């Protein structure tokens, strides 16, 4: 495995396990570790300069987040992204996220984290950083809904959403249009217009899927 795979790994985190987890996630979301790539613990550990233990734990965590698949015979591989996965993830988001955003706005929850996530997305150096910042933007809009079960359900989709976005941008780079849509959603939310924010969010999610389909799919 070539060393540039982990050239973008974070260096400011104190926990070795967190560094390993974020480094592998970053490599997956940038495509340095492409879908279907087998993830060999010994190779990853050598590249990252750690033992196999934090790598093994990171792969388990990434499997739980939907970025890695585990097989008794093939071991760990980067999850393959396809149209079916996109449809499943975004269908569930459409069922839950607009309602969560409506409740967040109606409760007057703090939206400053959403504005900060937008700034990070604009300043992102690569697809992985931009995708993760976008993920944080969406979470900031639903985290204040007042229902922890609803939040945790949407949280479970965050990494898969980031993986789908990164894969889609490889073929159809639509992040500028999506950033404009994010700004409009935040504008409505900050104005206290719950119904408008929810409708803009719904159109935003549907628009992403439609753009991917129009571009030939994943």
CB neighbour list of residue 176: distance below 8 Å, 6 or more residues apart? none
Predicted confidence pLDDT, tens digits, the chain (218 residues)? 444 566 554 443 347 889 999 999 989 988 889 889 999 999 999 999 999 999 999 999 999 989 999 988 889 999 999 999 999 999 999 999 999 999 999 999 999 999 999 999 999 988 888 888 999 999 999 999 999 999 999 999 988 888 898 888 888 788 888 999 999 999 999 999 999 999 999 999 999 999 999 988 88
CATH class of the structural domain 83-214: mainly alpha
Domain with CATH 1.20.120.530 in the chain: 83-214
For domain 3-78, the question of CATH label 1.10.10.10 is answered with yes
The boundaries of every CATH 1.10.10.10 domain in the chain are 3-78
């Amino acid at each position: 495995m070539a060393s540039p795979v982990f050239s973008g790994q974070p260096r400011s985190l104190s926990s070795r396990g967190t560094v390993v987890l974020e480094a592998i996630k970053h490599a997956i979301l940038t495509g340095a570790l492409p879908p279907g790539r087998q993830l060999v613990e010994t190779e990853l550990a050598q590249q990252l300069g750690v033992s196999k233990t934090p790598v093994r734990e990171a792969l388990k965590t990434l499997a739980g987040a939907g970025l890695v698949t585990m097989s008794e015979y093939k071991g760990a591989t980067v999850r393959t992204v396809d149209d079916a996965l996109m449809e499943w993830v975004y269908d569930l988001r459409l069922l839950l996220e607009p309602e969560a955003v409506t409740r967040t706005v109606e409760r007057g929850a703090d939206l400053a984290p959403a504005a900060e996530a937008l700034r990070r997305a604009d300043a992102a150096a690569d697809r992985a950083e931009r995708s993760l910042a976008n993920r944080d933007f969406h979470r900031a809009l639903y985290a204040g809904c007042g229902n922890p079960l609803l939040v945790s359900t949407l949280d479970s989709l965050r990494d898969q959403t980031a993986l789908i976005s990164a894969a889609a941008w490889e073929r159809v780079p639509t992040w500028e249009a999506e950033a404009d849509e994010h700004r409009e959603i935040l504008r409505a939310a900050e104005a206290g217009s719950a119904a408008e924010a929810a409708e803009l969010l719904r159109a935003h999610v549907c628009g992403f899927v439609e753009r991917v389909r129009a571009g030939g799919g994943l």
